[in-house]
Amino acid sequence: MHPDDPSDPSGDASNAATTHELPAAGPADSAPASGPSGDAVPLGYVAGPAPVPVGGRSPRRGFVLGVAATLVVLLGGSALFVSGYSLGHQQANQPGTSAADEQSFQAFWDTYHDIVSRYALGPVPTKTLVEGAIKGMVTAMGDPYSSYLTPEEAAATLQDISGEFEGIGTEIGTVDATGKTVDCNLFGPQCRLSVVTPLAGSPAEKAGIKSGDVIASVDGVSVNGLSPDQARDKIRGAAGTSVTLHIERAGAAAFDVTIVRAKIQRQEVVTKELANGTVGYVQLTGFSEAGADAFVAAVKADVDKGIKKIVVDLRGNPGGFIDAAQKVASTFIGSGPIFWQENLQGQDTETDAIAGGVATDPSIKVVLLIDHGSASASEIVAGALRDTKRATLVGETSFGKGTVQQWLPLSDSSTLKLTIAKWLTPDKHWIHKIGIVPHVVVTVPTNAPAGSDVVLDRAVAILTGAAFEPGVLLKAA
């Protein structure tokens, strides 16, 4: 499962991923589910502005068509025939509709049969009508993290999860007219498509796209009326093709920019040494299985060198798989809950730390960096390290995504990505639409010089006990 999607702030790179988007598999969902074709599909996301990334899972039951039992009774002759005909006719025209839901579904079936039998510009393929009905049903829930994915869309999202995709290389999210992060599922005046962050070295970054840019149209067509997933798919495309975005940027005139798409391979872990080699720095940009393993390896390398002070940077990380979040948090937490899941019935399920973490020794000091782009699985890690008092959190309040999505394969190889639980921190705080407030709040100045990083400067000062002087400690590294 994915704590998800970028979708999510799911993004061009996530959802998922939405990154966020997208899209994260829960600890008990350790093996991916199989679709009708037998191909492995992810069980879900906890997805972010991203795009992360969440018990055992029982096999999904297919839709079952109700079959009326035949009752043979020698009484009521013609009356029995008429009532039997009516029941059979109703079930033929409303398959699968229970008697209790008959009235609620009547308008749906009337509409379906009118389109099939009377639409003058038809015929419309049944598959198209069914897909549209499912999408409408999911959209009606008003949950930006639940969605219906066609086989093609599901395949594209799987690319996100693997860390490789074709597009311009941005994480995207949703904001209101004032630029404040909001949960919304259809773009319009109070739901705008915003760039959470361009990926390092991506075509978007090279074209000058910045965090906070609002994408108003794609190839001359407004994004209003589209869902985040639909807008993402319009921005993406085959490597070598181009897309033109109309950008609105605070304090500047709106402009168009044309970007050539490329194959993006996300590098999820970045490491370096700071303060003359006394402080280790590990940045994690996603929560795939490979990314979590690389993160653990990077922290272990620092510990093996004798480094006792570590900065973990989750800024701009939209989330990913829940088991990856569990693995990352377990690097520093030796036992006890990492997070809880609360289902529809209010039942809580605990997910504990994985034993054997490489940096659980309390003599190893940790500072965790977060910002508004830290979502979902990033917030699971931040919440765990905060509640267990294992790290000092520095930066800005996180995104605020506290739900878990599961991927449910449908019979035609399409997929329902459905919110199936809330996730809670070890102390059972639900951070949805609230975010996690860091211990030390550091706001990045809008006019910060290129290459400066006041948040990281503050983190190093905390770990080394030095006076806070922006830029000095980094230059000495």
pLDDT digits (tens, 9 = 90+) for 387-430: 999 999 999 999 999 999 999 999 888 999 999 999 999 999 99
276 or 26, higher pLDDT = 276
Task: Tell me how far apart the alpha carbons of residues 304 and 296 are, in angstroms, rounded to a whole number.
Answer: 12
**Span of 109-123, 379-393, 426-440 with lowest mean pLDDT:** 109-123
Q: What is the pLDDT of residue 229?
A: 82
Q: What is the pLDDT of residue 258?
A: 97
The dihedral region occupied by 183, where left means phi > 0, alpha psi between -120 and 50, and beta the remainder, is: beta
Mean pLDDT of the region 454-461: 96
Task: Tell me how far apart the alpha carbons of residues 109 and 115 are, in angstroms, rounded to a whole number.
Answer: 10
Q: Which residue's entry shows tokens 């905060």? A: 386
Class of residue 151 by CB neighbours under 10 A (exposed 0-12, middle 13-18, buried 19+) = middle
Q: pLDDT tier at 467 (50, 70, 90 boundaries)?
A: low
Mean pLDDT of the region 374-393: 97
401 is catalytic: yes
Question: Tens of pLDDT along 147-200?
Answer: 999 888 887 776 766 667 889 999 888 999 998 888 888 999 999 999 988 988
Question: Tens of pLDDT along 311-347?
Answer: 999 999 989 899 999 999 999 999 999 999 999 999 9
85 or 124, higher pLDDT = 124
211 is catalytic: no
Task: Tell me how far apart the alpha carbons of residues 428 and 342 are, in angstroms, rounded to a whole number.
Answer: 10
Q: Which residue's entry shows tokens 């839709």? A: 63
Q: Which residue's entry shows tokens 């480094």? A: 307
Given 146, 288, 330, 376, which residue is catalytic?
376
43 or 1, higher pLDDT = 1
Q: Which residue's entry shows tokens 């609620």? A: 104
Do 35 and 43 touch, CB atoms closer than 8 A? no
SS3 sequence of 163-216: CEEEECCEEEEEECCCCCECCCCCCECCEEEEEEEECCCCHHHHCCCCCCCEEE
Q: What is the pLDDT of residue 355?
A: 97
Q: What is the pLDDT of residue 413?
A: 87
**DSSP state, residue 3:** S
Q: What is the pLDDT of residue 93?
A: 55
Domains of the chain (ranges; CATH) run 80-134 (no CATH), 164-265 (2.30.42.10), 269-402+416-476 (3.90.226.10)
Work out the mean pLDDT of the chain and round it to a whole number.
80
Cross-strand pairs, 181: 175
Q: pLDDT tier at 22 (50, 70, 90 boundaries)?
A: very low
Residue 134 has pLDDT above 70, yes or no: yes
Residue 362 has pLDDT above 70, yes or no: yes
Given 183, 302, 387, 453, which residue is catalytic?
387
Residue 369 has pLDDT above 70, yes or no: yes
Given 160, 323, 327, 401, which residue is catalytic?
401
Mean pLDDT of the region 217-232: 94
Q: What is the pLDDT of residue 176?
A: 92
**Span of 85-99, 416-430, 450-464 with lowest mean pLDDT:** 85-99
176 is catalytic: no
Tokens coding 16: 């998922």
Class of residue 366 by CB neighbours under 10 A (exposed 0-12, middle 13-18, buried 19+) = buried
What lies within 8 Å, CB to CB, of 149 at 6+ separation is: 157, 229, 414, 415, 416, 417
Task: Tell me how far apart the alpha carbons of residues 461 and 274 are, in angstroms, rounded to a whole number.
Answer: 11
